[in-house]
Chain A
């Protein structure tokens, strides 16, 4: 299957700082990328959907000014957690889909964010 690379896999940051997570589709062009958040032993919760060249669509309850998403190219989307707090500590996962219609989404390996 297609490969989605997410970086970094783990990051520890101080409270109040910002952290950027990258999601790259390595062997296909991703017209749509999704960002999820997963707390321990829980399911994946969709945070936002981003289409290349346009603003991301955020799910209800997700602060767009706190979780900045940029999808500047067909192979790269970034999620920046601004002014991070300990409650932002979580597992963040991206997925990417090529084209439109009935195509599957491929997931990155996830980023474990710990805010201290």
Chain B
């Protein structure tokens, strides 16, 4: 089955700096890669996703890049703000079943 690895497990940045979280996946047939933000005691919230037919997607301060050959994808957050502090999960899936395999999560702390 699919295996998704995520790094780093914790990340602290100063407000205004950029944050990068990286994930690798094992199943070359995976074609959908969402990123979720989870705040304490809440369910995950989709913040951006990318499909395997594109290499990069951007939404304001958030961007995701995908390298299918290397089987890795990354989340980039620019101009970080304290409210960006949360746990971020990457995930991967393939086909129509949409069973997501999650990474282990990254605790992002943005220091004011």
- Count chain B residues whose beta carbon lies closer than 8 angstroms to a beta carbon of A: 23
A54 at the binding interface (Cβ < 8 Å): no
B99 at the binding interface (Cβ < 8 Å): yes
A32 at the binding interface (Cβ < 8 Å): yes
The smallest C-beta distance from B57 to any residue of chain A, in angstroms, reads 13
Enumerate chain A residues within 8 angstroms of B102, measured Cβ to Cβ: 43-44
Check if B43 sits within 8 Å of A109, measured CB to CB: yes
Give the number of A-B contacts (CB < 8 Å). Answer: 57
Check if B89 sits within 8 Å of A110, measured CB to CB: no
A74 at the binding interface (Cβ < 8 Å): no
- Chain A 29-46 per-residue mask, 1 if CB under 8 angstroms from chain B, else 0: 000101000000111101
The smallest C-beta distance from A49 to any residue of chain B, in angstroms, reads 6
Since A42-B105, A102-B96, A105-B100 are in contact, a sample of 17 more A-B pairs with Cβ atoms closer than 8 Å, ordered by chain A residue number, is A1-B46, A4-B43, A32-B97, A34-B100, A43-B104, A44-B100, A46-B101, A93-B44, A95-B43, A100-B96, A102-B51, A103-B98, A104-B46, A105-B98, A107-B43, A109-B43, A110-B43
Name B residues whose Cβ lies closer than 8 Å to a Cβ of A.
31-32, 34, 36, 41-46, 49, 51, 89, 96-105
Name A residues whose Cβ lies closer than 8 Å to a Cβ of B.
1, 4, 6, 32, 34, 41-44, 46, 49, 93, 95, 97, 100-110, 112
